[in-house]
């Protein structure tokens, strides 16, 4: 009787364990399924928006399906074997060794599968590395923790796109649609990695080296990305966006970037902001055309203040939608949605409108100006810069007063 009760108790325990395991498996599966239904996924690798990303997609989908089927078969076989041959006190079965037919089959099948994957993979790699048909070239330089884009006034950039003087911008890469753009990716400090998932794969940016990455967008819009090589304290805040414009809109963007500097009207907040900017900000930030009070050209000296030797060029800040390494929007949420959710036909006009007074995200920009390191960690404690020779890795707290912030915001609003 006691034995029967013990056996019953054991079988109940086993059943309970199975039920718990089943619940956990269902919960994990449901969570995975729900996660796959996410719509607002700007960095989704399964939604290519350009020929390079499509090539990757065309490769990864069949590989994923094959790997999925193989995975299911292997897991099912393991689970069945574990259940079928579980320890029930039976004798250990006869151990056999050496079955040439089985070994050959189990070797040949994976070889064929891997060959089937390797051939299209190699082909895709070579196609992605193609650069001979480049139509436009842009330098992309990573540093802690933002990306700089400079459009050289060289070769086809001048002849076909009217870039007659270098254009320097940050955070948002702007390219014309259906154009084979070649990015020359490098770094000023540590290794970063450039990745706009909807437009192409990743490319490491390595100090002292130039890596080439083809970028092409099929339709106007904004495509988000993220640095994918851990690069220090604010790696998570090192984002990037690629903006694809129609050719006509792109020409407008180029023309706007090349426009002469406009001096703020005397007596305005913007004019006062220009003075504060020269005193406080132009030590690192370049604004092309800005002049000192003596009439000489104002040239920033980031090499004297920053490890990377560079800070974002703010000449046309308000033509961008983001700041601080694309970590925060310059637009309010409503205005941002208005741009991001625009149709292809409307997108260019809305993007080129830039940031207006009504649409400026005052809260984040002011917080940034008030104390940047409090918003984005950047080793900005001046007492702990011995290892860098007193150089910062990012923007320090400048100790600006509220009045200074007000006039700087007014000045920056005119930078477009």
Partner 1 sequence: MITTSSKLFYGLGAVSIAGSIVWIIAHDGGALGAVALVFIAIALIFLGGIASYVRDGHVLSTDTEQHDSAPAAQRGPSHSWFPLGTALALGMLVVGLVTSPGIFKVGVALLLAMLGEWLIQNWSDRASSDPSYNERVRGWVVHPLEIPVGGALLLGAIVLSFSRIFLALSVEAGPIVFAILGALVLFFGSMLSIRRGTSTRVVGAVCGVALLALSVVGVALALNGEREGLTIAAEEDHFAHRACGEEAEESDEDAVRAVSAKSSVAATVTLKDGVLYAEMDGYSGPLTSISLQRAWNSSILFLNEDEGEHRMVVTYGKVVESLGGGVERETLLQACTSLVAKGGQQGVVVNIPKPSISSTEGFSITVPGLEGASIEVMVP
Binding site for partner 1 (CB under 8 A): 131-132, 134, 137, 139, 141, 148, 150-156, 166-168, 182, 184, 186, 188, 207-210, 212, 286, 288, 297, 299, 301-303, 308-310, 313
Task: Extract the tokens encoding 202.
Answer: 């990743």
Least Å from the CB of residue 231 to partner 1: 16
Question: Which C-beta is closer to partner 1: that of 82 or that of 297?
Answer: 297
- Give min distance, CB of 49 to partner 1, in A: 23
Closer residue to partner 1, CB minimum distance, 120 or 207: 207
CA distance 241 to 197: 10
Coil, helix or strand for 343? coil
Compare residues 319 and 404 and give the one whose CB is closer to partner 1: 319
Are 185 and 212 in contact by the 8 Å Cβ rule? The answer is yes
Q: Which is nearer to partner 1, 313 or 361 (CB)?
A: 313
395/410 with CB nearer partner 1? 395
> Minimum CB separation from partner 1 for residue 279, in Å?
19
Q: Specify which residues 210 forms β-bridges with.
A: none
Taking the C-alpha atoms of residue 275 and residue 381, their distance in angstroms, rounded to an integer, is 26
Among the listed residues 217, 260, 270, 249, the one whose alpha carbon sits nearest the alpha carbon of residue 353: 249
Nearer to partner 1, 188 or 320 (CB): 188
Q: Strands, DSSP E only, in 102-250?
A: 136-143, 146-151, 167-170, 172-176, 181-187, 192-194, 203-205, 211-215, 221-226, 239-245
Q: Are 176 and 136 in contact (CB under 8 A)?
A: yes
d(CA 282, CA 371): 17
Pick the closer one to partner 1 by CB: 298 or 406.
298
Measured between alpha carbons, how far is 245 from 132 in angstroms, rounded to an integer? Answer: 23
Q: What dihedral angle (degrees, nearest 10) is formed by the CA atoms of 339, 135, 326, 288?
A: -100
Computed from CA positions of residues 232, 233, 236, 241, in that sequence, does the dihedral angle turn out positive or negative? Answer: negative
Local structure of residue 121 (DSSP, 8 states): H
- Considering the complex, what minimum distance in angstroms separates the CB of residue 304 from partner 1? 8
Least separation in angstroms between residue 186's CB and partner 1 is 7
319, 356 Cβ separation under 8 angstroms: no
Tell me if 176 sits within 8 A of 137, measured CB to CB: no
Q: How many residues would you count in the chain?
A: 416
Cβ at position 299, least distance to partner 1 in Å: 4
The least distance separating partner 1 from the CB of residue 263, rounded to whole angstroms, comes to: 17
Smaller CB separation from partner 1, 182 or 199 = 182
Closer residue to partner 1, CB minimum distance, 208 or 267: 208
Instruction: Tell me how far, at minimum, the Cβ of 300 lies from partner 1, in Å.
Output: 9
Q: Which is nearer to partner 1, 116 or 162 (CB)?
A: 162
Hey, what's the torsion of the CAs at 52, 55, 57, 61, to 10 degrees?
A: -170
Count CA within 13 A, CB hemisphere, residue 408: 23
Terminal-to-terminal C-alpha distance of the chain: 89
Give least dist CB 245 to partner 1, A: 20
- Report in angstroms how near the CB of residue 290 gets to partner 1 at its nearest: 11
């Amino acid at each position: 009787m006691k034995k029967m009760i013990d056996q019953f108790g054991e079988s109940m325990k086993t059943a309970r364990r199975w039920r718990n395991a089943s619940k956990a498996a269902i919960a994990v599966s449901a969570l995975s399924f729900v996660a796959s239904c996410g719509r607002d996924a700007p960095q989704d690798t399964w939604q290519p928006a350009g020929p390079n990303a499509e090539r990757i997609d065309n490769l990864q989908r069949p590989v994923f399906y094959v790997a999925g089927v193989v995975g299911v078969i292997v897991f099912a076989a393991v689970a069945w074997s574990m259940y079928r041959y579980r320890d029930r006190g039976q004798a250990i079965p006869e151990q056999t060794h050496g079955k040439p037919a089985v070994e050959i089959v189990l070797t040949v099948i994976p070889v064929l599968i891997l060959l089937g994957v390797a051939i299209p993979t190699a082909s895709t790699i070579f196609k992605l590395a193609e650069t001979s048909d480049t139509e436009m070239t842009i330098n992309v330089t990573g540093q802690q923790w933002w990306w700089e884009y400079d459009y050289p006034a060289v070769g086809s950039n001048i002849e076909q796109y009217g870039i007659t003087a270098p254009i320097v911008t940050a955070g948002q890469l702007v390219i014309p649609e259906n154009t084979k753009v070649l990015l020359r990716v490098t770094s000023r400090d540590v290794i970063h990695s450039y990745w706009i998932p909807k437009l192409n794969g990743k490319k490491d940016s390595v100090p002292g080296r130039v890596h080439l990455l083809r970028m092409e967008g099929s339709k106007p819009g904004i495509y988000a990305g993220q640095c994918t090589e851990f690069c220090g304290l604010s790696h998570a805040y090192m984002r990037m966006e690629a903006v694809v414009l129609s050719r006509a809109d792109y020409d407008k963007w180029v023309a706007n970037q090349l426009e002469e500097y406009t001096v703020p009207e005397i007596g305005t907040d913007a004019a006062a902001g220009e003075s504060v900017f020269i005193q406080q900000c132009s030590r690192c930030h370049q604004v092309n055309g800005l002049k000192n009070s003596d009439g000489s050209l104002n040239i920033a000296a980031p090499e004297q203040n920053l490890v990377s030797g560079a800070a974002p060029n703010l000449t046309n800040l308000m033509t961008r939608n983001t700041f601080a390494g694309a970590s925060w929007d310059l637009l309010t949420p409503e205005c941002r949605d208005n741009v991001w959710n625009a149709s292809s036909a409307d997108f260019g006009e809305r993007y080129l409108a830039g940031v207006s007074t009504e649409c400026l995200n005052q809260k984040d920009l002011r917080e940034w100006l008030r104390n940047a390191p409090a918003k984005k960690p950047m080793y900005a404690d001046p007492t702990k810069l011995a290892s860098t020779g007193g150089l910062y890795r990012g923007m320090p707290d400048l100790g600006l007063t509220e009045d200074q912030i007000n006039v700087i915001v007014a000045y920056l609003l005119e930078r477009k």
